[in-house]
Structure 1
Amino acid sequence: MSNYQLTEAIERYLSGEMSGDERAHFEQMRKDNADIDNKIAEHLHFTGLLKQYRERIELENKLNAIHNEMDIHSLVEEMTIHPSWVVQMWRNHHSKISVAASVAIFAVLTVMLSTGFFKKQPDVQLLSREMEKIKRSNAALTHATSALATEIHKKSLGPGNYSGSGFALSSNGYIVTNNHIINGNSSKSPDSIYVQDALGNAYKAKLVYSEPKYDIAILKITDDSFEELPALPYNFKKGKSDLGEDVFTLGYSEGDAPVMDKGYLSSENGRKGDSTGYRISIPVNPGNSGSPLINSKGNVVGIISGRQTQVEGASYAIKTGYLYKAIQNVPLDSLSGKLSLSNKNTLAGLSRVQQIKKMKNYVFMVKVY
């Protein structure tokens, strides 16, 4: 079955258009094939993101429409003659006024009150001064609306709008995650990428390079508000890790707080003997893709890439040796700063709790739109 046919089948399956026999056959395929099951999950997640994006755009359009329809001069005149009009307007239209628009109106009224505009001013010369105050009030409204739009944009990136995890390659904003998070099954580049840290700060990012055969993608934070991170506390292991070695991961599998899961390396190869990855016994969940796999000494040994649906707790990670290879393939003209992996490790000898405290500020939630 081609990718196009599979996508069409998934859409028919999720929309309930399949007959009983078709649905039973497709559900059996889903149980037997982990890739199909993952594709269904990714399809559901993608359609959810589209819905969230559409709702955000509709909210912004409503706010813009409210702002454009407001006539400040008529509003001032009406309130000056009939102050009770504000109360009446609220009674009649409060269900239609969003919280954001209410805050904007409050900003205008506060400025008017502080300037004494509601006092009677018979002097013509003073009237001209009052007009200047109205202009400032209008400017305050515009500023408040703009600030609210920014806040709405940040809130749209809140819990539930993520598609995976990633972690810092360097202190100057380079981040590694999975290629399937950024590009999915499409060759088309995403419209926008954001990363969010453990404090809830969201930053715009761009795709610098992707290596589909290793399922690796390298991002760069481009947001002006991003401040360079302190030196990374972990390094990246080039050699192979040992069977049975204790490992743990830190990623965004639940909400906007990083989650730690631990286990051990159960195979030196990945799915179906894939030599580019490890099989690990860690109960990872959706959202863990792109998380770092760390050993007890604080070395990053892999990048979480998926899980086996038929076997409880069986997951997979890409070996960091292939991360080195991907970085070597990055075109120099696509870099906007030095990209070199840390060779220093300050996590060795620390307890697991201390290691996580140091690491959590270097692990990000990755959101793709």
Structure 2
Amino acid sequence: MLYRNEFKTRFSGVVISLCLITVLISGCASIFIPKKQKVHIHSNQPETEVKIDGELIGTGTHVNKRIEKWGSRQVTVEAPGCKEVQYVLLPHHRPAFFWVMQPLNILSIVYGYLIDFSLEKNVSYKRHNYYELEQNLIYRDTASQKFIDLQHIYFVKNEGPSTLLTANVKYSKNPERLIQNMEKAEKEAKTREEDRWKGGMNQVMAGTFNIPQFESKTISRMNELLKKMDFYDSTNSLFRDWSRSTLIECRVDEGMVFHIDGKHFSSYEKLRLKCTWFVKNQYGENIDSFVTESVSGEIMLGKISLLSDALSEGFIQLLSDETFKAYTKHGALKEEMHSPLELPDSLVNITSKDHAPMACVTIKTPNGHGSGFAISNDGYIITNFHVISGSSYNQFPSVKVIDHKGITYSAEVIRVSRSSDLALLKIQGNFDVCFSIDGKVQPKPLENVYAIGAPISTELASSVSVGIVSGERTQSPGNLIQLNMSVSPGNSGGPVFNEKGALLGVVVSRMQSSELQEYCFAIPVAEIRALLNLNDPK
């Protein structure tokens, strides 16, 4: 009996000991495999900077570093004259020692395997990694080239199937096989979208990106690239000289996000974009357009990085286009030269501010409204160019003019000065009185002045604003009269005159700030005559 009890006690001790040993040695690969490993980053540029997850780890063509095994890691390589390139360092394989230790997990049945196979440090990166950089940055020639201003990024709106799609791709270590997998996944994604559309699920798709949310951050990152190439205008001035910059907008026509699933719970994304880049002037007129197709690097840091990287690739393509380069040259968009235009000599000019409303008009286009005034009795009218500009260069929208009696006329655009924001219109109608553009009366500081226009709404046509002359400001391409006067959108193009009804200028812009009282600016009458080449009536 004592022997049996002793045997049971010893047997129980052995069982408990085996269980303890099993627990202790379970997942022992996780115990002995180190958290860090040495990786080698090779590049083809001598001054390459290598960053992992944003932290600089070394420079040169060959960088060695022991890094922690955290799963997928974002690698950025950059060198002078090269756009930075994004790669993802993926978990590549389990070391041989990992497999040597696995038989010891048999006794634990499941426990040890769960530990060893779940920890990221038990998967090693590829030891040697080769990344190539291309000398593709184009630097501004400060003597001959203008700055570039990226003003807007937006996605195309279409009524058919969405062109902003996501495709899931199976990762392959073979680059050619990976490309084939991406092409296959893209076709399947497009087919699914077409079927969705044909099946009646035709609601407007938001797409892959929320552009209102991403646009400002993406433009900010694009501006960093412009700064690197010296195309960014950092001049801080109240009076911007638009002739210093080439203005562009980007419309994304097609986008395909490839979500690439690798082994060991790793993944990253690549983005292919087809974009149309529009060259514009300061009035939003399209001058020309260019199409680029680009693919981002390997990104795991979010949609903003993905979008900005793909756009940067497309933008570098744009800068390489010889036709686009021509638009970046100083004087590329030359002002049209006008032959002299003589106004009729039988003019009845305004001699009192009381008569001024009779020569003022409201100007309407499909894009909005502004103001203007007659400079001849037979229907010549001055306004701002931005009041009548359209979406395409020299393709003006329908322009209607409403006189002080409420009669509406169709107007013809006779000539414009984009550099000074002026336009001369003509209607088939007559005015009892008109403003003189002889320019004999000059504005005087502290002089009381008046403006007439249609602020905010055409229902407020012929509204009068009162102010004083604050002074004159010199800016390119001409001078401006500074007025302490309250004006609103809709006043643009209206006249500024004194007590006697003498024309001093045309309202062109305003400046409003919580830290600054309201000012507006007017183009002097002498500038109107010179820039539109208008002669005094004989």
Which interval holds the TM-score relative to the shorter structure?
0.3 to 0.5
TM-score scaled by structure 1? 0.47
Give the TM-score of the pair, scaled to structure 2.
0.33
| Bigger helix share | 1
Which structure: greater strand fraction?
Answer: 2
